[in-house]
Copies of this chain bind each other. A is one copy, B any other.
């Protein structure tokens, strides 16, 4: 009687609740811990009840992937220095991906997300590349995306105590990412200037 939106005695499961529980399960137990059965158990529901709210596990994961990208910091459309803005945009993407490192392997196996957030980021990046007079903005966009997700995938799989030659620390990888991003953007602009 006090405003609860579930009138009856049913579980009152929601798609939103399913996705939230999936995120919690993921951050607590990793990708391996996110099974449909574990998810159902956490929601006090039979495993197959989930299929009333998500088509299947793949669809659930796709929704999770696109949601994460909402956290990427995007520059204003009329920013002065498009080259610097490109660096910041990719760096922010890298940060956000690593904040959800359990999901990173999935970005790779699906070639990124494809929901509304992913689409928006792609358009912003393409616009910046055009404003930076890059001759092949479509190719450069793909290279930057692959580079960023690939690097995040490598970094996300580091074991907790790392710092050897074979297993660099996350901080070292971050440094490598930034340096490589500079090299890439330098090379892209050199090609544009040469035209």
| Cross-chain contact B139 with A179 (CB below 8 angstroms) | yes
Chain A contact residues, majority secondary structure: helix
Q: Is A163's CB within 8 Å of the partner chain B? A: no
- Which A residues fall within an 8 A CB radius of B? 105, 108-111, 114, 136, 139-140, 142-143, 146-147, 149-151, 153-154, 157-158, 166-168, 173, 175-176, 179-180, 182-188, 190-191
Given contacts A183-B183, A187-B187, 20 further A-B contacts (CB under 8 A): A105-B109, A108-B150, A109-B153, A110-B157, A111-B167, A114-B166, A139-B175, A142-B168, A143-B180, A146-B147, A146-B180, A150-B153, A150-B154, A180-B184, A183-B188, A183-B190, A183-B191, A184-B184, A184-B187, A186-B186
| Cross-chain contact A151 with B146 (CB below 8 angstroms) | yes
